[in-house]
Structure 1
Amino acid sequence: MFCSAQRLNDLGDESRLLPLWRQAEPRFLWNNYMLEVLIDNKLEPYLLPVVQGFHHFQAVIGKDIIDVNLTARRCTGRNGTRMWRRGVDPDGYVANFVEIEQIMQFNGYTASFVQVRGSIPLLWQQIVDLTYKPKFELLKLEEAPRVLERHFLDLRKKYGAVLAVDVVNEHGGEGRLCEKFGDASQHVAGNDISALGFHHVCGHVHFDRLSILYDQIQDILERNGYLLLNGKGEKMKEQVRVVRTNCIDCLDRTNVTQSMIGRNMLEYQLRRLGVFGAEETISSHPNLDENFKILWANHGDDISIQYSGTPALKGDFVRFGHRTIQGILQDGVNALLRYYFNNFDAIDLLQGHYIVSVGRDTAATSQKGCLEASFPLALGLVLIGFLFAAMSLRQVQYDFRHIFFSLMWAGISIGIAAFVRANGRVFCNRPRLHNPR
């Protein structure tokens, strides 16, 4: 659970004798900072490593019982919440990087398939303002090839060859990121880059067309491989390539895409073990199909809650296989909640990147607090202005000059609103326990 089955198998039996916290990969150890004092005091028997999350289900296929586990390991290299951690840092760590391992166990056999997700590995940001979707800002374009290569080099060292699946929108601000990602990727050797036209094919509701996108990468995935161990723990097959998927947040579209890849890989494994026939699919077994959908839907929600504060959007498709009215409405609610939760981030406190001390940054905090406190005042002035404009408008029938006062008050309100919107970054709250990096 604390590292992939393939890595654990490569390390050998000796690694299983180590304390649990030593078995975990340091990049996925979320309570590493809190364990430091205990480690220094030689309290290893009491240390419990913490990783992102774990889900499991058991299904019956005829007389066969299979166990399927799904583990998410979120990297601590560039952690933080949605709007406050984007892109890649100079060391090649990307925001919201998660290693997902799907393990299937049947009759003594163990099959494992690993895929990863992570923010677009460019230097970019979205500074929170009052708009729903702040503008994407590309930084240090001359550094893009270097940091991109460093990121993919690290992936190749850990996983082998990389298939990068990009499912961002090809238009607007996302399109610019997609284009720059493609341009910078040309300088990186040893990777397959596949930009899937997610919105072009699926639109906003037709996710049943994902099979069209899957056909574009099917040949590569079949060569991708997966770990297969027999009942004696002997390696019969290994995974030689990892699929790296990203959208903008690496939450919603990414989870839909990765669940599709995981579904097809599980079918490959079941055919290899003789559980499925050549043309048999998960969909032909209602119990397995339902449990698999719920598994990935819950998994996507857990990853999304930590990064954005809400469950994943488009979760109804993963959970039920199609979009629903209730799911679309719930997506609207979650989208509004994300807009509010954009301003919260205390993960740096948990990880030790932000150290609380008496009197720290008090001057800067108080100055920033004055600016942020001005938003309620500005909102109040706008509402009062419109109120006076409405009152003056009602008096026009008695005195025509009131139309001038009505326009004046409305103009003042619109002017204040325009000023606030133009300076949205100044009027937005900022996380207090966040260390920009």
Structure 2
Amino acid sequence: MKQQFLGRLSAPPSTEFFDSNSNKVDRLVLNKFTLYETKTNYYVVGSNQSDNRFRILKIDRTTPTELNVIEDDVIYSKIEIMDTLSYLEEGNKTSGGLNKVLSAYGIVGFIKFTDGYYISLITKRSAVALIGGHYIYHIDETTLRPIGQRTKPEKNSDEYKYINIFNNVDLTKNFYFSYTYDITHTLQHNMTRPPNRRNFSYNEMFVWNSYLLENGFRSLKNNSDWILPIIHGFVDQSKISIFGRNIVVTLIARRSRYFAGARFLKRGVNDQGYVANDVETEQIVSEMSTTSFHRSGLHDNPYYTSYVQHRGSIPLFWSQDVNLAPKPPIEINFRDPFFAAAALHFDNMFKRYGAPIIVLNLIKTKEKNPREGILGDEFAETMDYLSQFLPDKCLKYIAWDMSKARKGDDDVVDLMEGFAEEYLADTGFFHSGPEAWINKRRMYLRQNGIVRTNCIDCLDRTNAAQLIIGKCALGHQLYALGIIDKPWVPVDSDVVNMLTDMYHDHGDTIALQYGGSNLVNTIDSYRKINQWTSHSRDLIENLRRYYNNAFADAEKQDAINLFLGNFVPEKGKINLWDLPNDYYLHNEDPRYKRQRRSYIHWWTKDVLQVKDDQQLDVSRYQLVPRLARQFDDETDPYSGYWIEYYRPRLFTSFEKLFASNMNSTTKYIPAT
């Protein structure tokens, strides 16, 4: 599209959010999209929440095998966009005119199989959470449309097969996005980073549509207004009143897109240090007396807390054969005396979370026929080797046979709570401002370090342990907010029942994504209640899990590899379904191995800093001057996104205003 008919910048620069260092407009938040087509082009018109400013994306349709996407930098007013569309209608009248195709809520990205490119669009969404005035949405429906002229591929063609494989990644199941909140990062990161776009970047580890977006926009780092990152995992939000104060608990699980896949086809670690079933779980507890992140300054609302945990497969080269045996044997495929892949994994974790990394290994230690113990011994040797070169207390390894404790007389929950209190003392948690004055504790709290929990599958035992750790964190979070008078909540309280329900849903969702069934063992199994119900659930879920692993995982793995860009189809070359396995898709070509890192100084020194040695960054608590604006703007870091939440010029019902259907705790109250 040529500049002469694209008009001018509709709003004076003073009304935009500027990056003071570069003197450029920050961004326009686009959350409504309309797709138009002519014979030669697609035009995507994106608008802000108020429908008063617009941008245009042009996609060339004349060469569908080559993707040509042009972002127009001009921002249009309502009148200007109507004039531009009229101009396009008139200019294409002889070839069929300008036709509206559909309305959408976001661009998932672009994908090419063997013939030409397709565009994937979000056509339905639902709000599932509200954090600081920012909506988080679940994808309810998508559509895949060819860029070129619509022609139905032949039924037995490679193109047809690839489309079916691609559609096996169901984007309507546990994929989430937000227009104004960076859900790829933790709350601590979002509330402490410097407030301009030059310091903004998505965590690409959790952007599942990264490959699809980069096909059209080259890089996620260019901060295009059209880029909408999508995470895969779990989001839930619940509300409860404690002593008359409204508390909202939000649980966000982010699945890594690196080395992702189905249970038996993705075990252990690859040679780049990425592990299977890598999930970051964040527990946000906030008091809703003030919804916004801001009070008197930028991000200074003291009523937000968060605690982050991690789960991931044991970082060794190991596997299990896919078969119908209840417990397939475990094999260690390769033994590295210097544990280079595990070193890469923990170095990456130091970069992500700081120190200490507390590794909680819950696999069995004593078995009649050694199975899990084979991995346990090798993992212990790995941790001994890696930790000997580190400063003290940076990498802690705890091996605890949770299954044995469950079968014995020990109270698993009480023991785990004792461990959790130690872990919380080591890592801390995030609090956005000073604690309530009645606590007389620290002024500002940051989480530095993380608890990394694993069992064999990182599903059942791991989820139970994470729930207990989350329960202990909840007590400290409520205490920091001044809600309770000591940092502890009883097991059989309403708020813990609510949290338990959320973690069960969280565990079931991750188990379905990785293992093909719900959790086999829940926290009730470890509390030794409802044993008959638990036993019947164990049997059913085990059968479902092994059936899915044997018959459905291969198709799921192919779809994930295609969606994430691990395999790129090329006409006339090897097909995805002809590969004996996908090993080479996730590991480096041995002919082009990167230079080996030091076997002794295996970590990145700059990021390895124990919490007690860190200096408090007080710069973020200083007031940031606000620029004069003629009207509220979604890019205003103080109040702009309220246009999405509060619509002053639009009739809004209470049902719409209360952003999500939060879980109710009334089910825990006995009927009278």
Same fold by TM-score greater than 0.5:
yes
Alpha-carbon deviation of 1:146? Answer: 1.9
Who is 2:397 aligned against?
Answer: 193
Percent of matched pairs sharing the same residue: 28
**Contact preservation (8 Å) 1:228, 1:235:** no
Query: By percentage of residues, which structure has more strand?
Result: 2
Who is 2:513 aligned against?
Answer: 306
Q: Distance in 1 between matches of 2:527 and 2:403?
A: 20
Query: By percentage of residues, which structure has more helix?
Result: 1
Structural mapping, 1:24-423, within 5 Å: 24-40=202-218, 44-51=224-231, 52-106=233-287, 107=289, 108=301, 109-143=303-337, 145-160=339-354, 161-171=356-366, 172-189=370-387, 190-203=394-407, 209-216=412-419, 218-230=421-433, 236-278=444-486, 281-283=489-491, 285-286=493-494, 288-315=495-522, 317=524, 322-343=529-550, 344=553, 345=557, 346-357=559-570, 361=574, 365=578
Which moves more between the two structures, 145-154 or 241-250?
145-154
**Contact preservation (8 Å) 1:73, 1:99:** yes
Alpha-carbon deviation of 1:141? Answer: 1.2
Q: Distance in 2 between matches of 1:143 and 1:89?
A: 16
**Contact preservation (8 Å) 1:30, 1:351:** yes
**How many residue pairs end up in the alignment?**
367
Alpha-carbon deviation of 1:49? Answer: 1.3
CA distance change for structure 1 residues 24 and 53 in 2, over 3 Å: closer, same or farther? farther
Q: Distance in 1 between matches of 2:226 and 2:509?
A: 27
CA distance change for structure 1 residues 54 and 123 in 2, over 3 Å: closer, same or farther? same
Which moves more between the two structures, 46-55 or 174-183?
46-55
Q: Distance in 2 between matches of 1:121 and 1:144?
A: 13
Alpha-carbon deviation of 1:210? Answer: 2.4
Q: Distance in 2 between matches of 1:85 and 1:227?
A: 33
CA distance change for structure 1 residues 43 and 185 in 2, over 3 Å: closer, same or farther? closer
Q: Distance in 2 between matches of 1:349 and 1:432?
A: 11
**Contact preservation (8 Å) 1:226, 1:239:** yes
**Contact preservation (8 Å) 2:516, 2:548:** yes
- Say what the alpha-carbon RMSD is for the aligned residues: 3.1
**Contact preservation (8 Å) 1:296, 1:319:** no
**Contact preservation (8 Å) 1:294, 1:319:** no
SS at match of 2:491: helix
1:207-236 CA distance string (max 9 Å, x none): 95222133245323223200100289x981
CA distance change for structure 1 residues 208 and 68 in 2, over 3 Å: closer, same or farther? farther
Q: Distance in 1 between matches of 2:229 and 2:527?
A: 34
**Contact preservation (8 Å) 1:29, 1:50:** yes
Alpha-carbon deviation of 1:115? Answer: 0.8
Aligned amino acid, residue 12 of structure 1: P
Q: Distance in 1 between matches of 2:269 and 2:576?
A: 30
Q: Distance in 2 between matches of 1:53 and 1:96?
A: 13
Aligned amino acid, residue 396 of structure 2: D
SS at match of 2:453: strand
Q: Distance in 2 between matches of 1:186 and 1:348?
A: 34
1:117-167 CA distance string (max 9 Å, x none): 000011111121342322111122125622222211111122111000000
Q: Distance in 2 between matches of 1:208 and 1:364?
A: 49
Who is 1:410 aligned against?
Answer: none
CA distance change for structure 1 residues 208 and 292 in 2, over 3 Å: closer, same or farther? farther
Alpha-carbon deviation of 1:6? Answer: 1.6
Alpha-carbon deviation of 1:364? Answer: 8.8
Who is 1:409 aligned against?
Answer: none
SS at match of 1:54: strand
Aligned amino acid, residue 50 of structure 1: I
User: TM-score under structure 2 normalisation?
Assistant: 0.50
In structure 1, list runs of 5 or more residues that go unmatched.
369-429
